Every structure is written in structure tokens, then in C-alpha cells.
Amino acid sequence: MRKILVMHGPNLNKLGQRDPLLYGTGTLQELNSLLVELAADLGVALETFQSNHEGELIDLIQTTDAAALVINPGALTHYSYALRDALADYAGPVVEVHLSNIHGREAFRQLSVTAGAASGLISGFGFDSYLLGLRAAASRLQKEVAL
Ligand code: DQA
């Protein structure tokens, strides 16, 4: 069974407590449980990882055996060229996701420096952004197999 790695960047461990009007009231654990359920339906294995440290995210991107990535880089989205380079080097499909609509927020959040290294970006649908992202990554993998 092929594995998809879902990565949560800085401060996403605080989901549920952090600005609930923007990010909702559900916790990271609840989000991960929804992802595990959907992965089972889609027939893919799932690993989840959260870190507040850019280097830890990059180390895992470089070493993972996952066939695809779904990543919410948090604030790193807006300035981390190092994370972008790691995503660009990663061989499989990458889906970038955001809970909030980054294009409707402060000017500094409207630019994603990482999205250019992703297959696509889903932003603004709360937990559904991740669930849609997981579906997109699984669909990409299926199409690769069919090719
Ligand atoms: C976020 C948007 C970022 O601007 C912010 O720094 C986050 C969360 C989102 O999911 O909407 O940490 O990535």
C-alpha cells in the first residue's frame, strides 16, 4: 500500500486554541483522526507529522519513504526558500494546504513561496482543505500507477 505523509508546520499543534475564528475549534488530533479515516477509505497508508522547526520538516522531506506529501507549512509558507527547495527536490506529488484563505488575508500571507514547488494548492476550507488535499494526492498516485 502506498503511503502519503501529511505534514503540519509551526503552531499547528495549537489548533483548537489558536484563533478559532480563523482556524476553527477542532484540535490537531481530531484533524489527524479524520485524515486516518479518509486514508483507509482511499486505500492509502497515512503518516502524520507536526513540527515547529523548519529543519525537522526538511529532514523528513529528504528521508521519507512516502509516495506523496500533503503539507501545511504554516508561516514558513511565506518566507522559507529552504522548505521550497526541499519540496522541489522531493520526487512525488506535493499538495499544499491551508486552513484559512491566505489570499484574503494580510498582504504578507498572500504570497506562498512554497506553492511553486507543489502540484497544487488548496486554501480556505478549514479541515476540508486537508481532506481535499489528501484526495488530490491519492488521485495523483492512482493516475501515476495507471500511466
Ligand atoms: C496557515 C496560514 C499561515 O499564514 C499561518 O501562518 C498558519 C496557518 C493556514 O493554514 O491557514 O500558521 O498556513
Residues marked active site are found at 23, 98
pLDDT category of residue 16 using cuts at 50, 70 and 90: very high
Domains in the chain with CATH codes: 3-146 (3.40.50.9100)
91, three cell numbers: 520526487
11 lines ligand 1 (CB under 6 A): yes
82: closest CA among 108, 53, 119?
A: 53
Summarised one tens digit per residue, pLDDT across range 4-13 is 999 999 999 9
pTM above 0.95?
Answer: yes
Cβ 98 vs Cβ 33: under 8 Å? no
101 touches 123 (CB < 8 A): yes
Output the residue whose Cα is nearest ligand 1's atom 6.
75
Strands 120-123 and 45-50, bridge-based pairing? unpaired
pLDDT score at 144 = 83
What is the pLDDT averaged over residues 110-129? 98
In short, whether 133's Cβ falls inside 6 Å of ligand 1 is no
Nine-digit cell string for 47:
503518516
The predicted pLDDT at position 147 comes to 52
- Residue bearing the CA closest to ligand 1, atom 12: 74
97 C-alpha vs ligand 1 centroid, how far in Å?
9
Give me ligand 1 centre to Cα 144, in Å: 30
